[in-house]
Structure 1
């Protein structure tokens, strides 16, 4: 009878993570899946973590809490992420809380999935149930313009995603990481 493998503690020097930021509809989850597959890493979608905490759809949570309480909740969920060798696909509003972004920066590089507004607008129109942290009366284009400066501020890399499929974005990200980045993950990347 085979023996059970021995469980060991997490390494004292954690291997890095890669965090994806960008607008709702930018493709963070699908690019994240492709990147995780390419690297042989795990994938965490922070929107799904929030849904799991509340047991509800993201838009229902946002509507119930209101924008600012939702942003505080999102930051708390992000700050609780303790991961290694993981691609983290975040919600588009994560950049509104320094505490969340500072925590993500400690985990590894942050990549902005840059998609022009016209494509974001088309994608969101196809999925109106998508959760977006916005107040009543706010316009999507105003939120896009407001967030653009924050995405640019926090990102270590800016992946120009227009015209690329998720696998091409994943390859672009991998090719643009610092040369020694993937060597620091125990040779597994």
Structure 2
């Protein structure tokens, strides 16, 4: 795709941040980076931004300050990112659990739930021991329990895109198609 075609596609989809939500391991960061490049937007990974703000890794935050402190920092970082210029944002898996963050996402972003089969996600996250909520636990069981609690919140996203089995480029195309469809349907319902 040419740079001018990417700009046209980007201007049709943006004006607001595109926020990817979903369980850890669903591909938010990887798909988000590719989506941002495709649309000519900056990319931000919520967990990376939290680490920069705190001056420590997510694992260290959990270990030394606890999950509650992490969630408070996450909400502050999400607010800062969402109040800035439009970007592609890979949120942390728990970001949608905060009511204020959900409201801000609804107000300032096009939200995309990246859904994937929990078995696929469990296989992905089991490859590295960097996720504090999974440390020492069965990934499938833990993710299944998370899904039960988090899916109703993720379902509030503007669109849902099933990802997981195919190439990341296919996920990017699916996200763009779903967003275009969503925006087209919104413009048709306006008076």
TM-score by length of 2: 0.78
Q: Is the 8 A contact 1:93 1:133 kept in 2?
A: no
Q: How does 1:134-145 map to 2 (within 5 A)?
A: 139-145=142-148
The aligned counterpart of 2:126 is 125
The aligned counterpart of 2:90 is 89
Instruction: Name which one, 1 or 2, has greater alpha-carbon Rg.
Output: 1
Q: Is the 8 A contact 2:17 2:89 kept in 1?
A: yes
The aligned counterpart of 1:20 is 20
Q: How does 1:5-16 map to 2 (within 5 A)?
A: 15-16=15-16
**RMSD of aligned Cα (Å):** 2.5
Instruction: Tell me the SS of whatever aligns to 1:163.
Output: coil
Deviation at residue 179 of structure 1 after TM alignment:
5.3
Deviation at residue 67 of structure 1 after TM alignment:
2.0
Structure 2 unmatched ranges of 5 or more: 1-13, 185-191
The aligned counterpart of 1:160 is 162
Count of aligned pairs: 167
Higher helix share: 2
Structure 1 unmatched ranges of 5 or more: 1-13, 183-189
Deviation at residue 61 of structure 1 after TM alignment:
0.8
Deviation at residue 180 of structure 1 after TM alignment:
8.8
Distance in 2, Cα, partners of 1:159 & 1:176: 7
Distance in 2, Cα, partners of 1:180 & 1:126: 35
The aligned counterpart of 1:36 is 36
Runs of 4+ aligned structure 1 residues displaced above 4 Å come to 179-182
The aligned counterpart of 2:8 is none
Instruction: Tell me the SS of whatever aligns to 1:139.
Output: helix
Distance in 2, Cα, partners of 1:145 & 1:180: 26
User: How far does the alpha carbon of each residue in 1:94-144 deviate from its partner, in whole angstroms, 9 at most, with x for none?
Assistant: 01101112112222210000011111111111011134489x999332122
